[in-house]
Amino acid sequence: MSPISRGFHGRPREAAIADRVPPGQYVTHDFPVLSAGPTPHTALAKWTFSIEGGREPKKWTWQEFQALPAETVTVDIHCVTRWSKLDTTWRGVSLDLLLDFVGYDHAYALAFCDGGYTTNVPVADLTGGKAWVAFGNDGRPLAAEHGGPARLLVPHLYFWKSAKWVRGLRLRDTDQPGFWETYGYNMYGDPWREQRYAGD
């Protein structure tokens, strides 16, 4: 039982959005930036997206990637540092479509990125219309500090799983922790179960 914080009232509760805000989160209208190091800047001419480990490894150039059918999606996003942003609009390619190219029976994926960042996501969370490789946000190309040219978008998990500057997926039979997961953050990261840290 939590002790009452004397004199703490909190913000007025917004009932209309309460069921869209996971426990411990608050709604922001900004788009905060969090990353562990300098922002990488990769020229589009050198950018590729790869899926490794499937029966047919696949690699797309930026041009090839742009020729794939893209979708525009509007989703809520939840950062483990406690901000949530509602109704964010993205343009990107569905992971269902990308994974269909390679043929796989792996249960896990490790996303890898420019700058050395990695994060692990079960393949089941990347399929079924739940995840994209996004290159547009709010009708514009995705800005570098927000992960451009392209980032993973897995909005039903905490946003560190939506790896910035993503360059590919490594399909795996076992769940290998990525960058933040090695530093004590949760292997799965479901915001609705408040899985922020290891053991949550």
Partner 1 sequence: MAGTAVRGRLTWETATVSSVLDETPSVRTVWLEVPGWPGHRAGQHLDIRLTAEDGYQAERSYSIASAPGEPLEITVERLEDGEVSPYLTQELRAGDQIEVRGPIGGYFVWETAMGGPLLLAAGGSGVVPLRAILRYRIMAGSSVPVRLLYSSRGWADVIYSDELSRPSPGVEVVHTLTRSHPDGWTGYTRRVDAAMLAQVAFRAQERALAYVCGPTNFVEAVAAGLVGLGYPAGRVRTERFGASGQ
- Per the CB < 8 A criterion, the answer to whether 94 and 152 are in contact is no
Nearer to partner 1, 40 or 136 (CB): 40
Nearest in space to 194 (alpha carbons), one of 5, 62, 21: 21
Residue 8 contacts partner 1 per CB under 8 A: yes
CB of 138 to partner 1, least distance (A): 17
Looking at beta carbons only, is 76 or 102 nearer to partner 1? 76
Q: What is the per-residue DSSP string for 22-49?
A: -TT-EE-SS-----SSPPP---GGG-EE
Both tokens assigned to 138: 């709010």
Q: Is 11 in the site for partner 1 (CB under 8 A)?
A: yes
**Torsion, CA 101, CA 104, CA 108, CA 109, rounded to 10:** -30
Residue 13 engages partner 1 in binding (rule: CB under 8 A) = yes
- Supply the DSSP string of 144-185, one letter for each residue: GGGTTT-EEE-TTS-GGGS-TTEEEEEEESS----HHHHTTB
- For the chain, how are helix, strand and coil distributed in percent, rounded to 5? 20, 30, 50
Contact status: 18 vs partner 1 (CB under 8 A)? no
Residue 72, SS3 per DSSP = strand
Beta carbon nearer to partner 1, 31 or 101: 31
Q: Which of 30, 45, 55, 139 binds partner 1 (CB under 8 A)?
A: 30
Q: Is 86 a residue that touches partner 1 (CB under 8 A)? A: no
Among 101, 115, 114, smallest CA distance to 171 is for: 101
- Is 124 a binding residue for partner 1 by CB under 8 A? The answer is no
Q: Which of 15, 19, 37, 174 binds partner 1 (CB under 8 A)?
A: 37
Give the range of 28-36, 87-95, 101-109, 159-167 binding partner 1 by CB under 8 A: 28-36
Scanning residues 41 to 80, which ones bind partner 1 (CB under 8 A)? none
**Residues binding partner 1 (CB under 8 A):** 2-11, 13, 24, 26-30, 32-40, 81-83, 115-116, 145, 179-180, 182-185, 197-200
